Amino acid sequence: MGGARRPPLFQFGRWLGVVPFFVFSGLFLIGPVVVLAYRSLEGPDGGLTLDNYRELTNPTVLASYGLSIRISLTTAVLGGLIGFFLAWAVSMGGLPRPFRSGLTTFSGVASNFAGVPLAAAFIFTLGRIGAITALFELIGIDIYGAGFTLYSYWGLTIVYLFFQIPLMVLVLLPALDGLKQDWREAAENLGATPRQYWRRVALPILLPSILGTMILLFGNAFGAHATAYALTGGLLNLATLLIGQQISGDVLNNPGLGYAVAMGMVFIMALSIILYSILQRRSERWLG
């Protein structure tokens, strides 16, 4: 941006306000990840290699990625659908106005209510001694006897939905507001039924936004560690929990593989954020 003709002091002043930001990000975000990326490419006796990435096909690693991806997909799709219907209900479903602002504030709280307290709340609800578990027992159903446990794929899915649904609501409410009344009226004047209006007009316009937010939810669940750790104590074979165990003591017996597993997560997260922003930009064409 500069030129040699400018005095250096002036140049410095021009950049002064952003220098701390770049230095700090370099030290605590970019630098560490670059080091991790470098280590993931390092062989046991030095030298650059892709061996660590080839090792990702190791059954433990594949299983952990598989479970993480399955849980993230399930909670993204379920959370996305439920969140969409909920956002629709309070914005255009004809419910009294206060529900909308109430839901917005609640979603802000619930989408940030992750980690230990969330895990604890569900232990008291659906854990072995939980209130709902006890309620089922009262009517003669032993859900744990029937094979359910909170510390499993479905258990974790139920817990994750507590922050996934609100996130969907928060991102989708503005998109629903962007649907113009004119479009509906135009469709109706042309003789469209409400169903036709939704299928041919509203949903196609909303689709990039809905899909994009679901991808955001996917990343949100994929990178989650605290809730799963607090709930299962690290017993479930999730990718984030595997990295946690790798930090505590090389469970993979291969430090390089640990770095590759971590970088693989960064790669998947980056992919989902990129897809999200592409779809979001696309949805702004109509809803911007």
Partner 1 sequence: MTISAPPIPVIETEAEQAPAKRSRFWAWVILIITALYFLVPLGATFYWSLRAEADKLGFEAYRRLFADSNFWPSFTESVINAIAAIFLSLLIIVPTAYWVTLRLPKLRPVVEFITLLPFVIPAVVLVFALLRLYGRPPLLLTATYDSSRVLLVCAYTALSFPYMFRSVDNGLRAMDVRSLTEAAQSLGAGWPTILRRVIFPNLRVALLSGALLTFAIVIGELTIALFLAQQTFGPYMANLTRSKVYEPSAMAIVAFALTWAAMGTIALITRPGKRG
Name residues contacting partner 1, limited to 20-39 (CB under 8 A).
Answer: 20-22, 24-25, 27-33, 35-36, 39
Q: Which of 55, 115, 148, 282 binds partner 1 (CB under 8 A)?
A: 115
Does residue 116 bind partner 1 (CB under 8 A)? yes
269 is a contact residue toward partner 1 (CB under 8 A): yes
Q: Which two tokens stand for residue 83?
A: 């969140």
From candidates 196, 233, 235, 278, binder to partner 1 by CB under 8 A: 233
Task: Name the segment binding partner 1 (CB under 8 A); options: 55-63, 69-77, 84-92, 142-150.
Answer: 84-92
Does 106 contact partner 1 by CB under 8 A? yes
Within residues 134-163, the interface with partner 1 by CB under 8 A covers: 161-162
Least gap, CB of 239 to partner 1 (angstroms)? 9
* Listed ranges 13-21, 45-53, 56-64, 175-183: which one lies at the site for partner 1 (CB under 8 A): 13-21
Q: How many whole angstroms separate alpha carbon 251 and alpha carbon 213?
A: 35
Question: Is residue 207 a contact point for partner 1 (CB under 8 A)?
Answer: no
Q: Which is nearer to partner 1, 9 or 190 (CB)?
A: 190
Asked if 130 is part of the footprint of partner 1 (rule: CB under 8 A), the reply reads yes
Amino acid at the residue 235: L
Which is nearer to partner 1, 115 or 178 (by Cβ)? 115
> Rounded to the nearest whole angstrom, what is the least distance from the CB of residue 176 to partner 1 in the complex?
13
Query: On the CB side of 213, how many CA atoms lie within 13 Å of its CA?
Result: 26
Angle at the Cα of 15 (from 13 to 16), degrees rounded to 5?
Answer: 60
Site for partner 1 in 40-79 (CB under 8 A): none
